[in-house]
Structures are given as C-alpha cells and as structure tokens.
Amino acid sequence: MRSVWKIAAMMRVMALDLWRDRGALLMTFLLPPLVFLIFSSVFAGTTGDDIQLKLAVADTAHTPDSGRLAAALARSPEVRAETAPTADAVRRRVKAGQADAGLVIRADPASADKPFLIIADPSRAVAAPLAQARVQQVLANALPDVTLRRTITQLEPALGGFTDEQVENADSAAALMRQDPTHDDGGFFEREAVKDAKVGGGVIAYYAGAVMILFALFSAMQGALGLMDERSTGVADRLLAGTAGMGPVVSGKFLFLVGQGTVQALLIFATAQGVYGVAAAQHAVLWLPTTLAASACAAGVALGLVSVCRTREQAQMLSTFVILVLAAVGGSMVPRFLMPPWLQSVGWLTPHAWAIEAYQAILWRDAGIGAVYKAWCVLTAAGLAGLVLAHVLARRLRR
C-alpha cells in the first residue's frame, strides 16, 4: 500500500512541476497537434494528384493547335506553366532548377511524329512522368479533336487514303470531340535528360545537403543545451560574477559548434564522393563557404533558441519541434518540388531550403558564385542573428 502512495506522490510531484512550467506545458500538449498539421500538409502534397509541377513550355511549332495547347497549359490549374522562347531556354531552366520539367512543342500536336519533347532532370525522377501525365490531361480536356486527327493521320497511309466524304466526317467528329473530350496517350512524347546529367547524382547531392543541415542543427541544439546545464549547476552564476560575464562562453560555444558542423559536413560529403562519386572535392572553393555558412546558421539558431527558454525541458521540447518542422518544410524529408506551391514558398524561410539548393547548385549544376551568394548571405545572417540574441539574453541574465 505504501508503494502505491509513493507512486501516486511521485506522479503528483511531476504533474505539479509540469503545471508550474507553463512553457513546457504548452509545448508538451500544444506542439504535437501543431506538428501533425504541418506534417500532414507536407506529405499530403506528395500524392500525384495534388502535385503542381512548374513546367517551362516552348512552342517551336507555331501552329494554331500548338498555340491552343500552350494557352491551355497556361490556364490549367494542374501545372504552373511558364513560357520559354526556345528549346535551349527550356533546357537551361530545367538544368538550373528554375523549372521542375520542360515541354517543347516541336511539331503540330496532330502530326504523325512525336510532337512533344519532355525535358527533365534525373535528380527529380518523378518529374518527367508527371509532366507527361499533366500534358496528356490538358490535351484530352482542351484539345480532344487533335487526338482524333492524329489517329486519322497515322491510319491514312495504311488504308490507302480517305475519300472527301470520310475527311469531312472526320472533321465533324473532331469538332464534336471539342465538346465531349476523350482520353488518348498514343505516342505523343519523347523524353530527354538534361545535358551531362548523371542518373542518381542529383539525388545524392540533394540528400547530402539535406542530411548535413539536419544533423548540424541536431548537434548544435545538443551543444547549446549546455547553457542550461551551466545555469542549473551554478557555473553561470560564477561566470556572471566576473568582468567578462557569459559573453565568452556564448562565443566559444558558437565557434565550437561551427567547427563541429563543418567536420560533420566533411564526413558526409566525403562519404558521398567515395561511394557515389559526388564531386565535392572538385568544388571545394564554393563548398567550403557554403558549409561554413550552413554550420554558422545552425550554431546561431540553436544558441538563440536555447537562450529564450527558462528550463532544460522547454529547450529540449522547443528544439525538437523546431528541428522537425524546419526539416519537413525545408525539404530534408520530402523534396520540395513535390510539395504544394504555398509550402514551397514557406520553405524559403528555413535554412534547409537555402542549404540544399546551394549544395545542389554547386555539386550538381556546376553553378558559380552567382548562384549561391544569396544562400551564403541568408544562412550567415540567420546564424549571426541567433548569436546576437544569445548574447543579449546572457547580458539580461547578468542584470
């Protein structure tokens, strides 16, 4: 019986501790449903029916039907189509990651040859079939007569030609099909991978960057929790009694966490190069500043978040929440091009999106400094903002 009362007393003590720590209470019971809502929004957008690809479209045929298709794609809610002047412009946009896939309308859609060229990056394996499916859907809904005329064109040589009456009947049927669409995917498409693309290399570069920033934040959060330990053990009080205060401690932790993140990244990318052939060493001049900026961002964000918490429980819960949400929204768990457009825009508020895009630009697209300097600025600014916040809160603690 005494054991039961002791157990009950311990449960009461823990319940009271949780109730008095209102920050931990909110994060314990409010954050889980919030995380669920965020994750459900992320993963719900990865189903094929909901994905809105960004499609670069070039109409090089310049026929009435090709113009109708280009206009229909621009109006379609199934894709986010944007026009490009030439096929090479489409290739450049896909290569640079400015479009998920490209469509070149290189002949009249009703012609016997394959009139459509789908251009895709192998690092986005599902982009090509999804783009083809979206174009087929728009073609069936907006230009059903084209499918019929294409079929007639293909059959005519085998049947020895058609009479004038048969041609007239076919034209009438095509006109009716504009009001009663049907579906046909009959051999319209040819696919092309972006030039110099190594199948799988883009995916490896993507996830190397995704894992790097994810674990940099995880490790930095754990290192930053040392601030809480120093408060609870009285070390912070002794430091605050000195002339320098907590400033050197915060700065020292920041520099250590930057170095730790850099070493982690070195190991990750060395593995990626050794096992999968990712050209990290060949791009070391741009890889190193990107890694330093990402590590500084992780260190600063971690120190800033921990500094705003009053207890270790709050800091642990908040850090877990922040890491999970940033990883999901920023693309460390699901490629961002599979997310809804609004969530892709929100992703730019995370360091993950900037770090992943910077690494892909360097290691996959062979981009120069012009493609990554914005990421360096954003990541470094976020890290310094967190460091400044940690210093400010440390000084308030002293007062």
- What is the C-alpha to C-alpha distance for residues 330 and 382, in angstroms, rounded to an integer? 15
* More confidently predicted of 136 and 266: 266
Contacts by 238-246, CB closer than 8 A, 24 or more apart: 240/397, 240/398, 245/394, 245/395, 245/398, 246/394, 246/395, 246/397, 246/398
**In the predicted model, what is the mean pLDDT of residues 104-109?**
86
Residue where the block lists tokens 């500084």: 296
Q: What is the pLDDT of residue 15?
A: 67
Higher pLDDT: 309 or 24? It is 309
List, in sequence order, every residue forming a beta bridge with 102; answer none if it has no partner. 56, 119
In the predicted structure, residue 293 carries a pLDDT above the cut 70: yes
Q: Give the DSSP per-residue string, 361-394.
A: HHHTS---GGGTHHHHHHHHHHHHHHHHHHHHHH
Confidence of residue 276 (pLDDT cuts 50, 70, 90): confident
Whether the pLDDT of residue 12 is over 60: the answer is yes
State the amino acid at position 156 in one-letter form. E
Rounded to an integer, what distance in angstroms lies between the CA atom of residue 386 and that of residue 296? Answer: 10
Distance between CA atoms of residues 321 and 317, nearest Å: 6
The strand ranges marked E within 67-196 are 79-83, 101-105, 116-120, 189-193
pLDDT at 10 over 60: no
Query: What average pLDDT does range 147-173 have in this prediction?
Result: 54
321-338, pLDDT tens digit by residue?
A: 888 889 888 988 878 877
What is the mean pLDDT of the segment spanning 133-156? 70
Identity of the residue numbered 201: G
**For residues 398 and 260, which has the higher predicted lDDT (pLDDT)?**
260
- Is 351:381 a contact under the CB 8 Å cutoff? no
pLDDT reported for residue 3: 59
Structural domains for the chain: 22-44+199-398 (no CATH), 53-193 (3.40.1710)
**pLDDT of the residue at 95:** 81
Overall average pLDDT of the 178-200 stretch: 60
Q: Residue 378 has what pLDDT?
A: 97
How high is the pLDDT of residue 92?
86
How do residues 216-250 score in pLDDT, each as one tens digit?
Answer: 998 898 888 877 766 655 544 454 445 555 677 78
Given this model, what pLDDT does residue 348 score? 93
pLDDT band at 159 (very low <50, low <70, confident <90, very high): very low
More confidently predicted of 268 and 175: 268
**Residue 136's pLDDT is what?**
83
**Average of per-residue pLDDT values in the chain:** 77
**Region of poorest pLDDT, from 21-30, 107-116, 208-217:** 21-30
pLDDT in tens, 38-47: 555 555 555 5
Question: CB–CB of 72/142 below 8 Å?
Answer: yes
Element at 12 (helix H, strand E): helix 2-20
Q: How many residues does the chain have?
A: 399
pLDDT at 304: 92
Burial class (CB in 10 A: 0-12, 13-18, 19+), 326: buried
- Are the C-beta atoms of 261 and 302 separated by less than 8 Å? no
Banded model confidence at residue 307, pLDDT cuts 50, 70, 90: confident
- Mean pLDDT computed over 363-370: 86
